[in-house]
Amino acid sequence: MFVELVKGAALLLALCFLHGANLRLWRRQPRVGKAFSGLLFGGICIVGMLSPLTIAPGVIIDARSVVLCMAGLFGGTTVALVAGAMAAGWRLWLGGAGAFIGVLTITTCVAAGLAYRYARHRWHLGVGIWPLLVFGVLLHLAVVGLFQGLPAEVAARINDTVAVPYLMIFPVATALLGVLLRDVEQRQATDFALAGSAARLRAITLAIPDALMVLDSKGRCMELFSRNDGVHAAGAPQRVGQRMHDVLPSSEAQRLVQLLQDTLAAGVPRKLEYTVYTASGIRYFEGRAQPLGTKVDGQAAALFLARDITERWQAQQALHESELRFRSLLLGIPSVSVQGYRADGTTTYWNKASEELYGYTEQEALGRNLLELIIPAPMHDAVTAQVAHMFSSGEPIPAGELRLQRKDGSPVDVFSSHAYVHVPGQEPEMFCIDIDISRRKAAEEEARHLALYDTLTQLPNRRLLTDRLEQVMAASSRSGQIAATLFVDLDHFKALNDSRGHAMGDLLLREVATRLRTCVREQDTVAGLGGDEFVVLLQSLGKEAPEATAKARAVGENMLAALREPYALADQPYHCEASIGVSLVSGHTQTVDEVLRQADNAMYQAKTMGRNRLYVYLADAG
């Protein structure tokens, strides 16, 4: 009996190898292959039932449980159902007392195999020898349990004579068959992967516009994968057996053979560029050699790719010539400073205009850092951040006016534009185009000064005085501090102009402006309104009117004393006096014009009272 069981299991194991052949046969039509696999597994079950172990009339034991559970596990639903249907149909045809239990056993094995397949894909349950052995033991314990549904004397006979060998052999057969089918499955997956990889490689080699071949160390073509027509193929052998010396000049062929030998000796890829003279002119090629890693016809070989780079070479030459023209043009362009810098700030270009603008010669500037050349220290962090952003994003720094520095440390105003230039094969560069706007800035400053200052005395004029008075009034509203406006008018100034001329009058006005400035604090303002009229604006005199009046009066008296001191106008002595009117300023209770008018009225009151005195608006009026 033991021998019969072993023979049945061995037959099943041998027949199941046909499954692998069937899969390979129907590799391109997997659905048909699954149907045939189902027929194969079902046929194996029927063969097993043709020579079973007979326990009693109509009660047989065979290896269908092993085959059907593996059909479900490795074949899937289609294979398992086809095989199960064939096995069940044959068992019912055989009939007998064990037919129902036989069909139930077939159903249980198919369901168990499909359940294992589901667990394998859903929870990644393994299909190694030990999981399969455990599965086989559990399944065949269940089958032995089904045997207990047979008549009592038959079940007892099975338990006494067959159960133990059955549980010893069939779980092991299940595990072995599973391992074999797993190997078939893995081999099939490997074949599919290799076939796909080979197809992709074949498509790639046929699609590339280059010559791709295997060469030995002497430059002989051993295998040709792809070849482009025309001049593109002129840089390499075009048929198996042809040598480099057959298609290239001797010097170029020898260089390529040396490249192959160096590549094979070093075991690393190498490349070089070479030229080929064709009917259409000189063509430029790039040859790349890669060690193959295995021998071909017993010889060391390398994979060689020949690429026509004529257009790229011509483009690079044109770009190089364009760059030379560009740099030559910028080198001598007048009045426009052009500098080039790398990402770290290193200077790469410095034209003649840059030498004149910043004071550094080209030799002094090249290789030095942008920050130490022309960027003032307070701007270092901002410039560093802007340059880093430009090189990382390719976005130019916005153009604008900058105040940079010359070699001697003096400031220079420029209008600076920036360009990001990245030539293939070279480090990217930033080009700065600076135009000196110092004269324009000076003219603007002069115009601004003329608009706000008196040209004779260099004192703030009425426009600037109005602006400062508005600021003082706003500050007074916030702080409560009282300010004062002193209107100063020189006595008998017209007589000086008439007797000694306007030149003498101008000298006196300049001297008066100087003396008035010495009488006030830095925060106060002395303004000239034209002619012999001056206005002095005193800030923060206190929060109480009496205190503010006293302080304003003290400053005014000091001014009168200063103005009474003798003058030397063109070495001629002169005595001058003045009348001063004072008006207090507290918040925005008055307008600028009202404040000035009150101070002017107070000044005229001082003149009415005999000149050479000070009069405070309202306070002196009682």
Q: Render 2-47 in DSSP notation, one character per residue.
A: HHHHHHHHHHHHHHTHHHHHHHHHTTT-HHHHHHHHHHHHHHHHHH
10 Å CB burial of residue 63 (0-12, 13-18, 19+) is: buried
Q: Which two tokens stand for residue 180?
A: 């074999």
Question: 578-585 and 614-616: which strand pairing?
Answer: parallel
Residue of 4 and 551 predicted with greater confidence: 551
> Would residue 448 count as lying in a domain?
no
Are 246 and 112 found together in one domain? no
Are 303 and 374 found together in one domain? no
Report how many domains make up the chain: 4
> Would residue 204 count as lying in a domain?
no
Least confident among 54-58, 175-179, 207-211, 270-274: 207-211
Are 137 and 157 found together in one domain? yes
Domain end call among 281, 308, 335: 308
Q: Which two tokens stand for residue 622?
A: 């009682």
What does 198-253 look like in DSSP terms, one character per residue? HHHHHHHHHHSSSEEEEEETTSBEEEEEE---GGGGTTS--STT-BHHHHS-HHHH
Look at residue 603 in the predicted model and tell me its pLDDT.
93
Look at residue 230 in the predicted model and tell me its pLDDT.
43
Q: Which two tokens stand for residue 17?
A: 């190898």
**Residue ranges in 63-162 assigned as alpha helix (H):** 64-70, 77-94, 99-123, 129-147, 152-161
Are 463 and 486 found together in one domain? yes
Look at residue 231 in the predicted model and tell me its pLDDT.
39
Position 13 pLDDT exceeds 80: no
Least confident among 165-174, 224-233, 378-387: 224-233
Are 358 and 394 found together in one domain? yes
Provide the percentage of residues in the chain whose pLDDT is more than 70.
91
Nearest CA-CA partner of 387 in 340, 448, 354: 340
Q: What is the pLDDT of residues 87-106, one digit of tens each?
A: 999 999 998 889 999 999 99
Q: Which pTM value belongs to this model? A: 0.45
Q: What is the pLDDT of residues 432-471, one digit of tens each?
A: 988 888 888 888 888 888 788 888 888 999 999 999 999 9
> Would residue 200 count as lying in a domain?
no
Q: What is the pLDDT of residues 374-426, one digit of tens each?
A: 999 999 999 999 999 999 998 888 989 899 999 999 999 999 999 898 877 78
Tell me the C-alpha distance between 433 and 341, whole Å.
Answer: 12
Tell me the C-alpha distance between 532 and 458, whole Å.
Answer: 14
Tell me the C-alpha distance between 114 and 185, whole Å.
Answer: 16
Check which CATH number belongs to the domain holding 258 and give it: 3.30.450.20
Are 82 and 44 found together in one domain? yes
Residue of 48 and 601 predicted with greater confidence: 601
Least confident among 8-17, 107-116, 167-176, 201-210: 8-17
Look at residue 257 in the predicted model and tell me its pLDDT.
87
pLDDT (mean) for 525-545: 91
Look at residue 561 in the predicted model and tell me its pLDDT.
94
Are 118 and 14 found together in one domain? yes
Tell me the C-alpha distance between 148 and 165, whole Å.
Answer: 17
Question: 400-405 and 411-421: which strand pairing?
Answer: antiparallel
pLDDT (mean) for 341-356: 90
Domain end call among 291, 308, 325: 308
Mean pLDDT, rounded, of the chain? 85
Determine the structural domain holding residue 135 and report its residue range. 2-191
Position 49 pLDDT exceeds 60: yes
Position 227 pLDDT exceeds 60: no
Tell me the C-alpha distance between 288 and 295, whole Å.
Answer: 19
Look at residue 493 in the predicted model and tell me its pLDDT.
87
Are 435 and 460 found together in one domain? no
Position 1 pLDDT exceeds 60: no
